[in-house]
Structure 1
Amino acid sequence: MNIFLSLVLLLVSSLSLADEPDVPTQLQTYYFDAARQGDVEMLNTFIASHYPLDAQDDKGYTALILAAYNGQSKAVEQLLNAGANACVQDKRGNTALMGAIFKGELKIARRLMATECNPDQRNGAGQTAAMYAGLFKRIELLNDLARKGADLNAEDAVGNTAARLANGEIRMPVSH
């Protein structure tokens, strides 16, 4: 009976260990949480440990995308200074800049616009950061993107342009 009980306890303990995420997954979770929450001290630990700054989660989000989207300007600055790539796209093709514009994080958007990314970089729907700026009436950012060389007349998959979106003209996909 004691042997049977010992085997059951061993089996249960091994099953509970199997449910816990592995160390790399846990580290990635801590890294992304630090970016999302703006925990610059924790990010410093990852940076000092040479953690891959452009690691992506299952949606393709990087720490920089998460920090930008969540309004964590100090974390954005820290990640960029450490070498994070602002041009990386998530699985939908969106960048940190697109997320910052969407969320109205103007200071962060301006910082991201100062990187070497193509201002006409497109997401999976063919949309650009300028289109986001037009859609959400972020006219100052739209003007800044135009000065950076963004094509305000570039069309997405349904014919929207940044200029049309800024004027309130929104084209929607035609359903059949």
Structure 2
Amino acid sequence: MQATAAEEARYAELQRIALGAARHGDLTTLAPMLDAGLPVNLRDEKGNSLLMLAAYHGEQAAVELLLGHGADPDARNDRQQTPLAGVAFKGHLEVACILLAAGADATADQGGGRTPAMFAAMFGHTDLLTLLNEKSERPRSRMLGLKLTSWARLVSALRRWFVPRKLA
């Protein structure tokens, strides 16, 4: 039996609703959908999983819900980025802790040899960088992490220096 065009359109709409619910941390919508059998590793047109969207937007409760339903903590999008890399880019320390506790790879190559720690350093998230360095299993990554921590501090200082200030 094949789905009708109307059924396929409704399923596509339900997918859009689920992706939006993950992005906005709408557990009232997302939880029943997962309980009813919505694929926990559902992806959008860019390959972003529900978990990637929730993590990137700092939605801790949605991240926990999705991981509790078996979401892959290292599911990559079409750009080969993991949820932990998205979190490192945005600086969501608490979400990073949740992902790492669920087994996310702190040293996963995001393409071109870039790691989540490099994203954290690039955007001056020193607390997140420290966490990622602690979770790194590779000695070379830890050494690089020390250099990246210094780099992240410099980036943070430069941002504070160049942020326009209001004159009194």
After TM superposition, the score normalised by the length of structure 2 is 0.76
Q: Distance in 1 between matches of 2:139 and 2:46?
A: 28
87-96 or 116-125, larger mean C-alpha shift: 116-125
Structure 1 residue 139: Cα displacement: 2.4
Structure with more of its chain in helix, by fraction: 2
Q: Distance in 2 between matches of 1:152 and 1:98?
A: 20
Give the SS at the match of 1:125: coil
Q: 1:64 aligns with which of 42, 51, 58?
A: 51
Partner residue in 2 for 1:11: none
Partner residue in 1 for 2:96: 109
Q: 1:166 aligns with which of 126, 149, 158?
A: 149
Cα distance change on mapping 1:54 and 1:130 into 2, 3 Å: same
Aligned pair count? 145
120-129 or 31-40, larger mean C-alpha shift: 120-129
Q: Which runs of 5+ in 1 are unaligned?
A: 1-17, 155-160, 171-176
Structure 1 residue 146: Cα displacement: 2.4
Q: Is residue 71–residue 108 contact of structure 1 (8 Å, CA) maintained in 2? A: yes
Q: Is residue 153–residue 163 contact of structure 1 (8 Å, CA) maintained in 2? A: no
Cα distance change on mapping 1:77 and 1:110 into 2, 3 Å: same
Q: 2:74 aligns with which of 64, 74, 87?
A: 87
Q: Distance in 2 between matches of 1:35 and 1:152?
A: 35
Once the two structures are superposed, the pairs formed by residues 1-150 of structure 1 within 5 Å of their partners are: 22-150=9-137
Percent identity over paired residues: 34
Give the SS at the match of 2:76: coil
Cα distance change on mapping 1:102 and 1:68 into 2, 3 Å: same
Cα distance change on mapping 1:74 and 1:54 into 2, 3 Å: same
Q: Distance in 2 between matches of 1:63 and 1:130?
A: 22
Cα distance change on mapping 1:166 and 1:147 into 2, 3 Å: closer
130-139 or 57-66, larger mean C-alpha shift: 130-139
Which structure has the bigger radius of gyration?
1
After TM superposition, the score normalised by the length of structure 1 is 0.73
Cα distance change on mapping 1:117 and 1:71 into 2, 3 Å: closer
Q: Distance in 2 between matches of 1:149 and 1:165?
A: 13
